[in-house]
Amino acid sequence: MRLYSYLQSAKTILVHYKGTLPFSAWLKNYFRENKKFGSKDRKVVSDLCHCYYRIGKGWMNKSTEERLLIGQFLCNKESVFIKELMPQWSDHSILSIKEKLHFIGYEEVDSIFSFSDQIGNQIDKQSFTESHLIQPDLFLRIRPGKRSNVIQKLEAASLQFFIENDCIRLPNMTKVDEVLHVDSEVVIQDKSSQQVINALKEQQLPALFTCWDCCAASGGKTILLHDHFPKAHLTVSDIRESILHNLKARFKRAGIEQYQSFIADVSSSTFISKQKFDVIICDAPCSGSGTWSRTPEQLCFFQKKKIEAYASLQKKIAVNAARSLKAGGCFLYITCSVFKKENEDVADYIVQKTGMKLVKQEYFKGYADKADTLFAALFLL
């Protein structure tokens, strides 16, 4: 009976959630308002809901309860719901994602990520789609000079981790802030995100150069650039004052004190920057479709028409920002999207409207590595 109670709670939550806030944040508020859920209850119900969203718009001909069970089967190696309520599936729970899909109905796989016709040509659509049934890992980037201390702390805490160069992989729910000093010792940054400035590192940049991060947001790309080019003169901007306030605190933790910041709507037709820069990073607002395995509710709530809206915004920001690039400078365009209209098509538009030369564009394909998928294009003026 307890299992049916959990299923009913999940169904109630799914009815109430409308997709206006990130589901994880909304669910925390829901549990806060509904005190009947203990810690175990919250964990079980949360998993039911997240796995439900991971199947996207697949199996829509089934009832909500059936789709909850399909989510449990596909996303977990072991589930008490499958063991007790669908015992005929239980022996298949340890199979691979692909084998499970063939067992339960592979014809539905395209409905999990229902925007496959929008994906860039470099992406393996099948592997990318199937990756949404798996919870991504947590990735950290070790700050310069902190490697031995970080490893020592992780080992002392008996945490399970894997390290490759300066990239650390941990289970998703690891509470790293209880072990490490976030931002000063490590940065919480997806594996693919750690690689997006690779093309910049391949350029023969001088030790001293000016860099503007025109859509700074949380500042992760700026900290990344600072760690590889510590003598660069940094400028950050964002349309939201609150973001720059939070970024100031984060930079302080990261030990970055010398930088400039300003509030700006770079997409505005009236935007003008008086300063010219050697390097511009344009980490543009986007659909985030390369990160939906972390926010699987987007598989159900994202509207296709938003792709055009994002692409239009990206083009305005990129072209306006590019006017502030010095001759011979580098312009790095980044999204965490897999949609061609936000990536390759915008890159083509940037070339047409700015006269910059496209040096390199690539996807950082995290879907095979329990990580995000990002796009980056480097231009020279």
pLDDT in tens, 143-167: 999 999 999 999 999 999 999 999 9
48 and 76 part of one domain:
yes
State whether 145 and 257 are in the same domain: no
**Within a domain: residue 127?**
no
CATH number at residue 181: 3.30.70
Tally of domains within the chain: 3
Span 224-253, mean pLDDT?
95
Same domain, residue pair 13 and 105 = yes
Residue 145, exposed/middle/buried by CB under 10 A (0-12, 13-18, 19+)? exposed
Residue 105 has pLDDT above 90, yes or no: no
Residue 142 belongs to a domain:
yes
The answer, yes or no, to whether residue 281 has pLDDT greater than 90, is: yes
Residue 118 lies in a domain: no
Number of H helices and number of E strands within the chain? 16, 11
Sheet holding 325-335, edge to edge: 259-263, 233-238, 210-213, 277-283, 325-335, 374-380, 357-364
Q: Is the pLDDT of residue 140 over 90?
A: yes
Host H or E run for residue 364: strand 357-364
Residues 209 and 184 in one domain: no
Residue 132 lies in a domain: no
Same domain, 243 and 318: yes
Judge if 169 and 310 occupy the same domain. Answer: no
> Does 55 lie in the same domain as 33?
yes
pLDDT in tens, 165-201: 999 999 999 999 999 999 999 999 999 999 999 999 9
What percentage of the chain has pLDDT greater than the value 70?
A: 100
126 domain residue, yes or no? no
Average confidence (pLDDT) over 248-266: 95
Is 177 within a domain? yes
Q: Given CA atoms 299, 293, 266, 361 in this order, what sign does their dihedral have?
A: negative
In a domain, residue 128? The reply is no
Q: What percent of the chain has pLDDT over 90?
A: 96
Question: What is the predicted pLDDT for the residue at 66?
Answer: 97
pLDDT, one tens digit per residue, over 287-333 is 999 999 999 999 999 999 999 999 999 999 999 999 999 999 999 99
Identify the domain boundary among 172, 188, 204.
Answer: 188
Q: Which of 166, 188, 210 is the last residue of a domain?
A: 188
What is the pLDDT at residue 274?
85
pLDDT of residue 335: 98
Residues 219 and 365 in one domain: yes
Mean of per-residue pLDDT scores for the chain: 96
Do 183 and 216 share a domain, yes or no? no
Residues 91 and 200 in one domain: no
Residues 228 and 317 in one domain: yes
Residue 263 has pLDDT above 80, yes or no: yes
Does residue 280 fall inside a structural domain? yes
> Which range of residues forms the domain containing residue 147?
138-188
